[in-house]
Structure 1
Amino acid sequence: MTDFVLVAGTWLGAWAWDEVAAELRGAGHDVHPLTLSGLAEKQGVPAGQRTHVRDVVDEVERLGLRDVVLVGHSYAGIPVGQAAQRIGERLRRVVFVDANVPVDGESFLSGWPSDPVRQAIAGHDGFWPPLGAPEYAGQGLTDEQIARIVGGSPHPGATLTEPAVLAGPLGDLPATYVKCLLDGDEPMPAVAELLKSDSWELVELDTGHWPMFSQPHALARLLDAAGSRP
């Protein structure tokens, strides 16, 4: 039995993991989907990136979890990666699901053409609204699944613009990186560099960027396997 803490990316809350969590619980694991501050049922709570790191660390400590697998999807890889360093011996493994990884001194918006996102944040009172339905084409999602994502909550902009602060080399963590192939078949450069570490492994999933919706059973099996790694 493994304790999983599941954290979804922008616009999403703990609800995004319902199908994955059910399957992992059916396999005998304890599963703790987490909504980050400012999202879903926590809308209205002020949040920067440091807040989201604390959200993850506080959840692990509040529940007294040990031998825990932290799972971060998309944006959530940035706070989850930092939290993984901060929980020390409580960590069993960190899993990045088609995720951004934290780079010391850089933000989620660093290193890619992010001006449209910055403009959207500036034009929506400091929040990044969910993208329109056409932006999710080609990601293996049904219309119903796309509607669920589009219906998510605006994402606090400060969490996307604040820089990450690493406590040590991220490559030292025991980590699994899940690359979703419909979102591009090559990991981003920061991930490719980390995958050179003996502590990191790459696993591919033949689906799009939101596998908790498009392939929840395959993702749950993959997480189950990652949680059994030494």
Structure 2
Amino acid sequence: MSNYVLVAGAWLGSWAWDEVVPALREAGHGVHSLTLSGLAGKRAVPAGRQTHVRDIVDEVERLDLHDVVLVGHSYSGIPVGQAAERIGERLARVVFVDANVPADGESFVSTWWQGPAKLEAALAENGGSWAPLTAAEYDGQGLTEEQIARIVSGSTPHPGASLADPAVLARPLGELPATYIKCLLDGAEPSDDVAELLAGGQWRLVLMDTGHWPMFSRPDELARILLDAMGR
């Protein structure tokens, strides 16, 4: 039995995995979907330097989990990638779901694909938080109107301090046993940093013909991929 720890991306909480969890549990695995500090039901909890990494590590240690499959979606790939090396032998595999990946000394803001200044301005305009996307901004991502409405209604502002938090890595990320899931409606190719990690030989690439939020658009397919990541 593996223990899947599921961490959703910006603006989302543990609820984002509700349609993925049943298939993993039916296959006999432990499943622990996690809400990060400052989001959803933990919105009142401050999030600063390394808070989200500690959220993940603390959950694994508190529950004394072993054979852990850490799953990080979008932004959460950054804290998940750091937590993966910190839990040591407890880790079985890390899965990045169309995710950002950490680079030592770099943050989500510093590597933002539209440029750090644009994201920094967006945070400043919203009192230091990153405002959730509007419904129109989910167009073209393989989501139904009902799925979009669910995401929008459940989203909360993302704490900006976590986005500007530089990653701390003790060893090369490419040494971790990892699967990277690329969602093709959000871009046909992995980003350059991910492509370099995939070329190292330890990482596997899986393609999904859907958008950036597959836990909503293709939950059953995503669950199968997560199970296959462990060869089960």
Same fold (TM over 0.5): yes
Deviation at 1:204, TM superposition (A): 0.4
Match runs of 1:15-94 below 5 Å: 15-94=15-94
Aligned mates of 2:231, 2:67 — CA distance in 1: 11
CA-to-aligned-CA distance 1:42-90 (integer Å, 9 cap, x gap): 0111102500000000000001001100000000000000000100000
Aligned mates of 2:229, 2:19 — CA distance in 1: 18
Aligned mates of 1:170, 1:75 — CA distance in 2: 16
Aligned mates of 2:123, 2:147 — CA distance in 1: 24
CA-to-aligned-CA distance 1:6-51 (integer Å, 9 cap, x gap): 0000000000000100111111111000000000000111102500
**Per the alignment, in what secondary structure is the counterpart of residue 20 of structure 2?**
helix
* 1:196 aligned partner: 199
**Per the alignment, in what secondary structure is the counterpart of residue 25 of structure 1?**
helix
**Per the alignment, in what secondary structure is the counterpart of residue 18 of structure 2?**
helix
Verify the 8 A CA contact 1:70 1:84 in the aligned structure 2.
yes
- Residue 156 (1) aligns with residue 159 (2): yes
Q: Which amino acid aligns with 2:11?
A: W
Aligned mates of 1:122, 1:192 — CA distance in 2: 32
* 1:3 aligned partner: 3
* 2:183 aligned partner: 180
Structure 2 counterpart of 1:116, from 98, 115, 118: 118
> Runs of 4 or more off by more than 3 Å in structure 1?
none
Verify the 8 A CA contact 1:211 1:219 in the aligned structure 2.
yes
Aligned mates of 1:106, 1:74 — CA distance in 2: 16
* 2:134 aligned partner: 132
Aligned mates of 1:37, 1:227 — CA distance in 2: 28
**Per the alignment, in what secondary structure is the counterpart of residue 19 of structure 2?**
helix
**Per the alignment, in what secondary structure is the counterpart of residue 150 of structure 1?**
helix
Gaps (5+ residues) in structure 1?
Answer: none
Aligned mates of 1:218, 1:180 — CA distance in 2: 12
Aligned mates of 1:95, 1:134 — CA distance in 2: 28
Task: Report % sequence identity.
Answer: 69
Q: Which amino acid aligns with 2:91?
A: L
Verify the 8 A CA contact 1:109 1:161 in the aligned structure 2.
yes
Aligned mates of 1:148, 1:11 — CA distance in 2: 12
Verify the 8 A CA contact 1:11 1:149 in the aligned structure 2.
no
Q: How many residues align?
A: 229
Aligned mates of 2:162, 2:184 — CA distance in 1: 26
Verify the 8 A CA contact 1:21 1:31 in the aligned structure 2.
yes
**Per the alignment, in what secondary structure is the counterpart of residue 19 of structure 1?**
coil
Q: Which amino acid aligns with 2:19?
A: E
Q: Which amino acid aligns with 1:205?
A: M
Q: Which amino acid aligns with 1:113?
A: Q
* 2:168 aligned partner: 165
Deviation at 1:116, TM superposition (A): 3.2
**Per the alignment, in what secondary structure is the counterpart of residue 55 of structure 2?**
helix
Alpha-carbon RMSD: 1.1
Gaps (5+ residues) in structure 2?
Answer: none
Match runs of 1:201-220 below 5 Å: 201-220=204-223
Verify the 8 A CA contact 1:130 1:149 in the aligned structure 2.
no
Seen in structure 2, the aligned counterparts of structure 1 residues 212 and 49 have a Cα distance that, compared at 3 Å, is: farther
Verify the 8 A CA contact 1:68 1:90 in the aligned structure 2.
yes
